[in-house]
């Protein structure tokens, strides 16, 4: 098999040569000097670019402080944004209005902090200091959860979450209830039809005759959670089911016979998706964060070599 190359060669015939023009300046002539100069220039540009990239890359900066930082301490950057924030926190001034002394003090403080942090790493302070350990745990959790916090879930995902957790997105119920207490001896007298009982407790004279009194456990309208605390679980469970104007059956409790008189009961109402959206988003994110933390922990456990003492296995 043979391969043929066809190269078109154009000859420029110089008829009236201009002797005054130096060969290296004439692009139509071959010039060894020009070739060397161009090659040297290419090498130089290449070296400059390579050097620039090498010495200014974020991970390998050795000579220049990157524009976003104010200092490099053993190659660790001290952020300009943190510097400005500290200047503002300590002196309440921005960079323009800070004095030279203020600037130097803040920078000195930050460099000192960085030096101590680096020394702390060398000494492995995290092995012994519970505050450092706790801060590290928080920081790693944050790093793991960052995707969930930063990403914006779709409306469809939020709506699905809302629909599968609808019990969370309801208003707090409100009730206004009278809790009347009677001596245990009056139980038989109170065991009547609800209408008759209602008439009896609404009449002050009958109430007095039966030695009934308002326990005072609830006053005004109360949210369900407050009514539950004030009435106790048993009475609240009975009260929750009563409609406006209804009375409960007499309930025998250790302190007497209780009758609940429901004046107003506004039951919990589910929020619409639009009304609950902010809360749904927050819950959705929290759930995603928990999931990520859990999978992050599983990953760490999987790759770790954990040996447990015999007596604790």
Partner 1 sequence: MRFLIVLIMASLLVAAVFAADSYAARRLLRADPDALPADPTLLRFAVRRGRPLFEARCAVCHGASGTGDPSMGIPNLTDDDWLYGTGRPAEIERVIDYGIRSRNPKAWSLAIMPAYARPQPNPADKNIQPLKPHEIDDVIEFLMRLQGRQAETAAAARGAGLFTGHGGCYDCHSLDAKGDSAIGAPNLSDAITLYGDGGREALHMSIAYGRQGVCPAWVNRASAASIRELALYVYSISHPGAIQHGY
Helix (H) or strand (E) segment spanning residue 309: none
3-state SS class at 266: strand
3-state SS class at 104: helix
The reply to whether 279 sits near partner 1 by the rule CB under 8 A is yes
Phi, psi at 86, each rounded to 5°: -70, -40
- Beta partners for residue 260, in sequence order: 179
Of the residues 4, 7, 27, 193, which one makes contact with partner 1 according to CB under 8 A: 27
The reply to whether 81 sits near partner 1 by the rule CB under 8 A is yes
Cα distance between residue 256 and residue 261, in whole Å: 16
Of the residues 85, 123, 136, 137, which one makes contact with partner 1 according to CB under 8 A: 85
Of 119-127, 166-174, 182-190, 243-251, which segment contacts partner 1 by CB under 8 A? Answer: 166-174
Task: Identify the DSSP state of 247.
Answer: B
The reply to whether 172 sits near partner 1 by the rule CB under 8 A is yes
Of 91-99, 111-119, 188-196, 242-250, which segment contacts partner 1 by CB under 8 A? Answer: 91-99
Cα distance between residue 141 and residue 167, in whole Å: 29
Of 170-178, 206-214, 233-241, 301-309, which segment contacts partner 1 by CB under 8 A? Answer: 170-178
CB 68 → partner 1: shortest distance, Å? 3
Cα distance between residue 92 and residue 35, in whole Å: 61
Of the residues 73, 187, 226, 242, which one makes contact with partner 1 according to CB under 8 A: 226
User: How many residues lie near partner 1 (CB under 8 A)?
Assistant: 40
Of the residues 220, 233, 310, 311, which one makes contact with partner 1 according to CB under 8 A: 220
List the interface residues with partner 1, window 174-193 (CB under 8 A).
174
The reply to whether 171 sits near partner 1 by the rule CB under 8 A is yes
The reply to whether 79 sits near partner 1 by the rule CB under 8 A is yes
Of 128, 197, 164, the C-alpha closest to 284 is: 164
| Site pattern 246..275 for partner 1 (x: CB under 8 A) | ----------------------------xx
Quick one: 96 or 205, whose CB is closer to partner 1? Answer: 96
Cα distance between residue 238 and residue 150, in whole Å: 46
Query: What tokens appear for 128 in the block?
Result: 């012994």
CB 258 → partner 1: shortest distance, Å? 23
Cα distance between residue 24 and residue 209, in whole Å: 128
CB 145 → partner 1: shortest distance, Å? 7
User: At how many degrees (to 10) do helices 80-91 and 100-123 cross?
Assistant: 120
> Is the distance from CB of 182 to CB of 257 less than 8 angstroms?
yes
Q: Give the count of beta carbons closer than 10 Å to the beta carbon of residue 235.
A: 22
Residues that bind partner 1 (CB under 8 A): 27-28, 67-68, 79-81, 84-85, 88, 94-96, 138-139, 142-143, 145-146, 149-150, 152, 171-172, 174, 220-223, 225-226, 274-275, 277-279, 281-282, 285, 289
């Amino acid at each position: 098999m043979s391969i043929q190359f066809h190269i078109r060669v154009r000859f420029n015939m110089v008829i009236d040569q201009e002797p005054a023009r130096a060969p290296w300046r004439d692009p139509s002539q071959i010039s060894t000097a020009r070739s060397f100069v161009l090659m040297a220039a290419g090498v130089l540009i290449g070296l400059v670019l390579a050097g620039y990239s090498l010495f200014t890359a974020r991970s390998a900066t050795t000579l220049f402080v990157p524009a976003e930082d104010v200092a490099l301490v053993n190659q660790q950057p001290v952020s300009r944004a943190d510097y400005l924030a500290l200047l503002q926190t300590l002196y309440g001034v921005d960079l323009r209005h800070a004095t030279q002394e203020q600037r130097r003090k803040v920078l000195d403080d930050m460099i000192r902090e960085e030096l101590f942090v680096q020394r702390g790493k060398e000494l492995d302070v995290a092995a012994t200091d519970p505050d450092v350990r706790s801060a590290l745990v928080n920081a790693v959790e944050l790093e793991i959860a960052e995707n969930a916090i930063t990403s914006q879930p779709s409306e469809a995902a939020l709506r699905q979450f809302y629909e599968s957790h609808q019990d969370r997105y309801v208003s707090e119920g409100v009730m206004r209830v009278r809790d009347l207490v009677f001596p245990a001896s009056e139980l038989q007298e109170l065991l009547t039809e609800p209408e008759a009982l209602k008439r009896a407790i609404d009449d002050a004279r009958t109430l007095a005759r039966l030695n009934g009194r308002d326990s005072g456990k609830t006053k005004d309208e109360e949210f369900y959670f407050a009514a539950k605390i004030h009435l106790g679980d048993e009475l609240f469970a009975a009260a929750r089911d009563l409609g406006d104007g209804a009375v409960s059956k007499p309930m025998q409790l250790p302190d007497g016979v209780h009758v609940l008189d429901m004046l107003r009961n506004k039951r919990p109402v589910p929020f619409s998706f639009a009304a609950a959206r902010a809360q749904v988003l927050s819950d959705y994110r929290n759930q995603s964060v928990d999931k990520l933390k859990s999978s992050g922990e599983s990953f760490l456990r999987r790759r770790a070599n954990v040996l447990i003492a015999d007596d604790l296995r």
